[in-house]
Structure 1
Amino acid sequence: MPRSRQPFSPFAAAVLALLAGLIATFVLFAGIRRLEHDKIELEFQQRANIRILTIQQQLDQTIHTLRVLNQAFVSFQDVSREQFRNFSQPLLQRHSYIQALNFHRVVDAEGRDAYELEMRRVYPDYVMRQMKDGRLVPAEAARQHLIVDYVEPLRGNEAALGLDVAPNTHLAEAVRWATDSGQPTSTALLTLAQGGGRQTGFLVVMPLYRHGMPTDTVDERRAAFIGDTAAVFKAEVLVEKILSESGMLNDPSLSISVYASSDIDDRNLAFRSGSRPLSRDELAAQSKSPIPHWLFRDQPEPVMHDFDLAGRPWKIAISRQPESFMARHAGSVATLAGGVLMSLLIVGFFHAMSMRSRRVHSLVEQRTAELRLANDRLVEDIAARKRAEDALQLRQRAIEASANAIIITSAAAPNYPIEYVNPAFERITGYSLEDVINRSCSLLWADDRAQPEIQEIIASVRELRETRVTLRTYGKDGRMFWSDAFLAPVRDETGVVNHYVVAINDITATKRYQAELEFQANRDTLTGLANRNLLHDRLRQASAYATRYGHPVWLLFMNLDRFKFVNDTLGHRAGDELLKVVADRLRGAVRETDTIARMSADEFVLILPERTEEHLSPVLVQRIMDAVAQPIVIEGYEFVMGSSIGIAVCPSDGMDADTLIKHAGIAMYRAKETGRNNFQFFTPAMNDHAMERLRIENNLRSALEREEFFLHYQPQVDLATGRVLGMEVLIRWQHPVLGMVPPDRFIELAEEIGLIVPIGAWVLRTACRQCVAWQRAGLGQLRVAVNLSPLQFYQEDLVHTVKGVLAESGLAPHLLELELTESMMMNDIEHAVCILRDLKSIGVHLSIDDFGTGYSSLSYLKRFPIDLLKIDQSFVRDITIDPDDEAIVLSIISLAHSLRLKVIAEGVETEAQLAYLKRHGCDYMQGYYFSRPLPAQAFEQLLRQRRSLSQDTSHLLPLV
C-alpha cells in the first residue's frame, strides 16, 4: 500500500488564506466602490440636466413673451398706455420672474420739450433722466434719446419711467443689433435703475418699425426704427424664480451658477446657489494620480452647458457639493472592514484545522473504502445534475436570444434589486448588467414618477400577482421610450415568491404611429389647424365650461370673400398658399388658448372661450378681420382678402356644437348679404331668413318640374341702323307663394347646389325654340344670346347638348350667341380653349360678358375664338362724367376692333351715354334707354311695331 502524503504546513496554510482573503476583500471593495461612484455620477448628471433644461426653456418662453408684446405694436399703429397695460398684465401674471415690460420711444432733440410737456400732463413731476455713475440724474442734451415711455408694472419700476437708455453702451449695442436684424437681442449684465442703481440685470429688446416703411435691408430698417419693446430682468431673481417655481432651488447638494457669457467669470455672474463650482481644469489637476479617481474620490465633474439667449451666449455650470466620506461610502467601507475581519477569522480557522488534520489523516485511509462504495452513487448524482444544468442552460439561451428585454429581480423589499438582465435589455436601454446589478427597476422611469402605471406595478408586487402596463421609460442616455411591460412573480418549490421576472417590449414606434394617426384625425392637412373632429371636441369642452362657470364662449364663423376668384384665376395651388397665409395670420390674431379650425375650403371657425365681457368687443373682431385683410402677394399678384364673420354666443345662442356652428354660419351669410367684409351677431330673425333660404332651395329643386320659370328678353340694337338685331335671354322665377323671385336670390344658390346645369339647359332650349317661332312668324332672323354658367361650360357633353338643342329647335347655329365670363375660363386655359374651338366648329357666336371686371389678359384674349366683347354696365354708367370709365370704354372698343371683334355696351340708360358710344364707334347697345327686359308676348309686340332708335336719339319711334 503506498505511503500517505504528509499534511500541509499549518503556517503556510494560514499565510495563503490571509493573502487570498485580503485580495478578495480588496477586489470586492473596489467593485462596490465603483458602483457607488457610478450611481453618484449618474444621479448628478440627471439632476443637473433637468435644471439646465428648465432654465433654458423658461428663458426661451420669455423671448416668446416679448414677441407677443411686440406683435401688439406691429398689429396696431399707435398703442396707448392703457392698451400697453392690458397687453402686459396677462404676460406678467404668466411669467412672474419678469421685472418689467418696457416700450422705448425714440425722441429727437427737437421734440424733447414737447414730449416732456406731454408727459407732465400724466405725471406732474416728470423729468427725463439718465443713469450716471450708478445715480439717476437729469438727461443731458443729445441728438436723439431712447426713452422708457411705457413700463409695466409701474410699482417697483418708478425709477425706470422717463429713463434715457441711449447713453448705456450695453443697451445701445443690443438695440443696434436688434434694429439691424429685426430679431430679439439680449444685453450683457448691466446696472438697473430699479433698486437705486444697486441691482444688476439684463434686458431683451425687439425693434419696432414705422408702419408702411420698407424693412428689407439694414439701412431701411434703421430708417424705419421708431423704438423697441423690452423685457427687464433682475438676473439673480430671474433664475431663482425659475428654479423655485419648478421646485429645484432648495437642493443643498448642488451648486448652480449662471453666467451671462460663455466664460466662467464672476463679473458675468447672473446667479449662484451654493459655492463656486470647480472648472474641468481644476478637477483635472486634482485627479492626476496613478490610483483611479473613483476609488477614493467620487466628486463628479461639473456640468457645463452653453446656450444662446436672444443672440448672446450664456453658460450654466452645476457641480455637486462634497459630502462626508462615510455618508457616501458606508457600503464599501463596511465591505472592506468585514473582509479584513473575515480574513483574520479564516486564518484562525485554518490554524485550528491544520492541528486537527494530523488526527484526521489517520482516519482517511479507513474511510477510503467507504468512499469507493459511495462513488457509484455520486456518479449517478452528477449525471442527474448534468441533465438539470443542460435544461437550465437551454432556458438561459432562450432568454438571451429573446428580442424583448428580460429582467429578473429579487423579491427582497423594499428595492427588489436586479439580479439579471438579458442582452436585449442592454440593447434597448443602454444599461449594461454592471450598471443595474443590485439596483432597483425604478431607474428606468428616472424622475417621471407621476405615471399611474407605476402605482399599478407597486400594487401588483404588494399583492403578489401579475400585471401588464404601458409606461414611459428612460435609457441610460436619458432618451424616453414607450414600454409594454409584463411583470410576474416567481415562486419556489414551497410556493413562496422569491423573485420577479419583467419582460419589456419597446413600442415607441407604435406610439409614434398612433400619434401621427391622431394628428391626421384631428388636424387639417393643409393648414395644420383643427379639423371638424377636434373642433366639435373643443367646442363641447368650452360649452361645458361656460355652463358651469357662467363665462360666455364666442364662436366666430369666417368665410373669405372672393376666394373663388383666386382659385379660378390662378389655380388651386395659389388658393392653397393663400389659405396657409390666412391660417398663420389667424394664429397671430388670437390667444394661444383659443381654437382655430378649418371647416371647408375657405371657411374657418374660431372658438374664443373665457371671454368675461358682456359683449364681444368689436375691436377684437375687427382686429381679426384686419389681420386677414393685409395684402398677400401670390405668383406676383397682390390680393387683399376681405372676410365675412358670423358670431354666435354660448349659451345664449345654443348649447351644443352643431347649433352654435349653424347659428354662426347663418350670421356669416347675413354678413355676406349686407355687403361682405363685415361681421354680424346671430339673431333669431336671421334664423327665419335662413329657413326662408332653405325653403327657396327646396322649392328651386322642383321649380323646373312645376314650370315656374319663364324668360324675359332684352333687345340688342345695332347702333349703325338703329334696328333690333337680337336679344339677351334673362330667366325669371314666378313662385306660387313668394311671387316673383329676383335672379340674384336664386341664381347663386342654383350654382351652389348644382341645379344651374339643368336650369341652363332649359333656358337654352326654350330660347332657341322661341327665336325659331318668331322667325316663322315673319319677324326676322334675330340672334339670341344665352349666358353659360361655369358648371355648364365645363360639362363634358356641352358641345353635344348645344348641337342637340339646335337640331331639335331648327335654329341656325350663327343665330345662337353663347355668353361667357373671363373668370370661368382662367382655371384651365388649355381646356377652355379646346371647348371654345369645339363650340366654334358648330358655327355659334361666342361673346365675353362683363369684360374688364375679371382677369383680363391680352395673350389669352388673342387665343380665344370669340366674336364679341360686352362692356359691363359699371363702366357705361359714368362714361360721361368719369374720365377713368371713359378711358376704359375707349380702350375696350379700340382693343376689340383691333382684334376684329364687335363690341356691345350694356346698361345704356341716357341719351348722353348713347351719343358717346355712337361717337366712338361702339357697334351695339342694350339697356333701359331702348327697352327693359320684356316677357315673350311684349317682346313680340315690340318686334311687330318695328321699333328702332331715332336718328337724333332723343326718343324712341316705331318704324313705318
Structure 2
Amino acid sequence: MAEPTIQNRPPRPVPLAALLTLLLGLAVAIGLFLILRDLEYKAQDTDFRQQASIRALRLEHGLAEAVNAVEIANQLFVVNETVSREQFRLFTQPLLKNYPYIQAFNFHRIVTDSERSAFEAEMRKQFAGFMLTELAGGKPVPARIKKRYIVVDFLEPMRGNEAAFGLDVSFHAHLVATMQHAAETGLPAASDLLRLAQGEADARIGFQVVVPVYRKGAALDDAGARRAAWIGDTAVIFSAKKLIEKAFGSDGLLEEGSPDVSVYAAAAAVESQLAFRKGLPPASGPQGGALLRWLSPRQISPVTHDFLVAGKPWHMMLSPAAPTAIVGQYGSFYVLIGGVLFSFLAAAYIHALVTREQRVQRLVQERTREAHLANRLLREDIAARERLEKDLQLRKRAIEASPNAIIITSAEAPDYPIEYVNPAFLHMTGYTEMEILGRSMRLLMGNDSKQPGIAEFKSATIEQRLGHAVMRSYRKDGTMFWNDLYTSPVRDADGRVTHFVAAQYDITEMKRYEAELEIRANQDTVTGLANRNLLRDRLSQALAFAARYMHPVWVVHLDLDRFKFINDTLGLSAGDQLLKQVAERLQACVRATDTVARLAADEFVLVLPERSDESSAIHTVQRIMDAAAKPYTIEGHEFFMTVSAGMAVYPTDGEDAETLMKHADVAMYRAKETGRNNYQFYTPAMNERALERLRLEGDLRLALEHRQFELHYQPQVDLCTGKIHGMEALIRWQHPAYGMVAPARFIGLAEETGLIVPLGAWVVRTACMQAKSWQDAGLGELRVAVNLSARQFTQKDLVKSIANVLRECGLAPHCLELELTESMLMDDVERAIGILRDLAGLGVQISVDDFGTGYSSLAYLKRLPIDVLKIDQSFVRDISIDPDDAAIVATIVSLAHSLRLQVIAEGVETAEQLEFLRDHGCDAMQGYYFSKPVPADQFEAMLRQGKCLAGSANIAG
C-alpha cells in the first residue's frame, strides 16, 4: 500500500510535551503577573496614602489655625471688661490681613425686648438711624417684636457688610442652635455651610465659627450656669475655598496630577455640604465583565479622613487623579503578555522539534527574541523599583526638610518611646538624636506636669485617637516655648495601632503678641499698673455693681509730694524707678479686687469697691501713706517721700466716674493746701464723721484700761412659770465725752482692730462673777448668756480660758450659756463641731443666736451639740400680722423640740406676740414687753421683787 502524500496526511495530535510546556508557561506567567501586579499596587497605594496623610494633616492644621483666629478674637472680650468698637477694629485688622480667607469678624450681642429701646437709642448716638433689622425677601426690614434678639453689634470689615450691621440673626434656626451649643459647652462651634454675599463666584461657600462670651464674674460650673451667663459671642465667617487652598499651601499639593480632593462640612460625603473639590468625585470602581476587571489594573481605593472643626464633624475624601490612577501598574501586564507569548512559543518549539527538526533554527531565533523581551521587561521592572525607592526617599527628605517638628513614637505604653524626630525638632528643642531617641515625650514637659494638655494626650493615646492641645514645653537649656501639638495614631494593615505621629508647632511668638496686645491696651508702660482707659472701665463696672447692690465705692486720688524735685535732681530715669517702687507699695496695700492706676506723671488713682463703711477705706489709705513714707533707695541715694490723698465716695459725692474722679482730685488738692502728707474727704461732713470714727477707735483702745465698760442684763423669762430663769449680758460703753455709746458704734471697730478678744474675755469674766454674786446672795441659780464673737470662737485657747474663768469665779458650768450665730458655725462646720463638743464637755450651755437669719442647715444642726435655739426678733416682730413669719416661728419651735432643744424668742414687745408664742409651745422669751436691758443694780432689784410675767400658768402659786 502506497504512503499517503503530504496533502493527504492526517493532522497530527499536539504532543504531550508541548501541551505541558504551554500549561506550565501559562501558569508561571499568570503567577508572575499576579505577584508583580500586587507589588505595583501596594507601592502605588503606599505612595498615594502618604500623599493623602500629608494633605489631611495640612487641612486639619489649617482649619485648627482658623478656629484659633476666632479664639484669639474672643480673648479680646475675655481679657477686657468692656470692648470699644475702635479696640475691636484695631484688634481684628492684623487678623484680617494675616488670614485672607476670613470674610468678616462679628460680635453678636443678646438684647432682650425690654433692652431693645435703650440699645437702639444708645447706638443712634454713633450711627444715625440705627435700628434692629431682620431679613424679609432678602432685604433688611425693622425687626419684629420678640423676647430676645441676637444682634450683629460689632462688624469688621464694615465696608461691603453694612446690611448685616444691626441684623437680628435669631431667625436663622441652625445658626442659633450653633450659638446655643457653644454657650452651653463653653467651646467654639461651627455652622453648616452657607452662601456668602461677597467674594468671587467660586469662593462664596463658607461657614461661621462662634465662641461664647459670658457675663464677667458669672459662675460657669455647668451648662445651665453657662447658658444663664451667656451675653453674646464672637463669630468669624470663613470662605471655605480660600481657607482650604491656604491650608494646602503652595507646596504643589493642588497642582496638576496630584490626588483629587473633596472636602465636606459634614460627617459623610453629602454633596449639599461640599466645601471644596479639586478634580473629579471618587470613582465607583472598575466597569466591564469579570475577565476585563481581572485583567485591568487595580484601582487605588479612595482615602477618607474625619476630623472636627470647632466641634463639627468634617469629612475629606482623596482619590488618585484620573490620568495617574493606573500609571505604574502596566509592568505586570507586560509580564503576563510576555509570559503567555513565551509559553506558546515554547510549546510551538517543542511541537516543532518533535515534528520538524528543520524548524530548529527558527525556534532558536524566536526564543532569543523572547529572551531579549524578558530581559527588557526585567530591566523595566528594576527601573520601576528604583523609581519607587526614589519616591520614598523624596518623602523622607520632605519630612526632614519640614520647618515644623515631626515626631514618631512607638505605641508601647506607658512611655511611648520616641523612634524618629526630624531636624526641625532637634533645632526647636536643642536636643540631639542620641539624647531624645528612646525617651518619652514627657521629657519636654520638665516639671510642669499639671498642664491640662497632658491629660488630653494621655486620653488620646489610651483611646488611640487624634489628639491636640497647646502646651508649655521646655528646651534642653530649660527655656520655655509654647507648643501647638497634634498627634495621630498610625495603624498597620490589620488596623492595629503601632505608632503615633506628632506634628509640633512653635507658637511662642503668637502668645507673646497676644500678651503685648493686652499690656498695650490696658497697662501703663512704666509701672505696669492700669492706665487711664482701664481705670475708667474698672470704675464704671464698679459703679454699675454698686448701683445694683447699693454698695459704696471709694475713689482715692494720690499725688506724690515733691516728685518734681526728684526728677529735676536725679533725672527722669530715677523718677521712673521711684514710680515703680511706689506702684509696688500701692498694690501691696490693697485687695486683689481693688484697682490701682497711674493717671499721669506722679498721680495715682485707687478704686476701692465693696467697703461698706468708712473705716475700712480710711485704714487702706492710712496703710498706703505709711508705706509711701518709708525710705526709698535709688541710684545709691536714700530719701523720703510722702503723699497727699483726696477721697470721694459713691453715691454721696457723685454717681458717675467723671464726677467722682473730679471730686477726689479736688479733695487731694485740699490735702496739699493743708500741708501735704495727709488725706481729705470731699465734703466736710464726711471728713468730720471719719475723724470722729478715728477718735472713737483711739478711745476704744483705752476704754478697758480706764474701766469705761459696763454690763446691762436683759431678763429671760420662762413662759410656763412666768419667772426669770436667766439673763443675757450686754456690753455698754460709758464714754467720758460722748456719754453712753451703743454697741453698734463700737463692736465693729473692736472686731476690726482685734480688741474684741480682750473685750469679750472681760464680758465673760464679769458676767460669771455677777451671776455667782447673785447666787451667793440667795437670788437663785440663774443662767447668764454671753455672746461670743467670731474672733473669740476661733481662738485656740477658748475652751481653756472658759474653764479658767468658771474655776476662778466658782460658777457651775451649767449656769453659763454661750451664744453663737449661725454664720460663725457654718463658716467651718467640722471645726465648729469640734470646738462645741469641747465646750459641751465643760458642762456649759450652748445656744444658737438669731436662728433663721443665716444658713439654717438642718443637715448640720442635728450634729451640733447645742442646747438652745434663739428665734431672731425679725421673725417675732410680725408673727401676729404676717402668716409667713408665724409659720416660720411655729416651724422653728417644732423643729427645736423634735431635736430636744429649748427655744427662746427675742424681741417680744406686745401681748399678741407673747400669746402666739405661748400657744405654740415656746419655752422662754426676752424683750421690751417684760424688760429692756438694765444695769446690774436694777436687775438685782427686779430679782428681789420677784417680778413675774402676767398670765402665766402658775402665777397664783
TM range (shorter): 0.3 to 0.5
The two structures have a TM-score, normalised by structure 2, of 0.48
The two structures have a TM-score, normalised by structure 1, of 0.48
